[in-house]
Amino acid sequence: MQVYLIRHGIAAERRTYADDEQRPLIDKGRDKTTKVANRMLANGLKFDLILSSPLVRAYQTAEILQQVGLAKTIKTFEPLKPGGEIEPWLQWLQTCQLKNPQGKLALVGHQPDLSNWAEILLGGSVKNQMVLKKAGVIGIEIPQIGIPIARSTLFLLTSPKWLIT
């Protein structure tokens, strides 16, 4: 099973909204994210499902992925909020994997959480050694059976500049 961890696009500056969760993507962020999404589609990628942080900037990113045709369905997933732990997702995954062991899943969220999760899947602990830019993508293959922690493999890590021409 392949998991693509996708960071939200460029959003309005911090402190420009009373509620940080409401900060939306700015035009530049929408534009870059759309180009990244179209590039993924052009490369034949499709997701069985997008799980998104409920925060506006993340959910808008997920909607762009959906709108270009990368996935039919978005589900908000609370543990993808900033500071969320990976454990609830691992529990969710056990059910998901049983249904579709060959599936492709997108997780849309925030930093440093996404690279933290990736590092846990790869090595079992957070090391702060992966750089994930806004609208950047991490691709991880998780094993079909058993706990994926420290047993997954990394096949993609890129900033949007390598996906946009």
Positions touching its own copies (CB under 8 A) are: 39, 42-43, 122-123, 127-131, 141, 152-159, 161-163, 165
Cα–Cα distance, 72 to 58 (Å, whole number): 17
Shortest distance (Å) from residue 76 CB to its own copies: 28
Shortest distance (Å) from residue 83 CB to its own copies: 22
**Residue 55 vs 119, nearer CB to its own copies:** 119
Cα–Cα distance, 12 to 27 (Å, whole number): 9
**Residue 56 vs 70, nearer CB to its own copies:** 70
Cα–Cα distance, 141 to 11 (Å, whole number): 29
**Residue 80 vs 130, nearer CB to its own copies:** 130
Residue 30 parent element (H or E): helix 27-42
Shortest distance (Å) from residue 67 CB to its own copies: 21
**Residue 73 vs 153, nearer CB to its own copies:** 153
DSSP string, 133-157: -TT-EEEEE--SSS--TTT-EEEEE
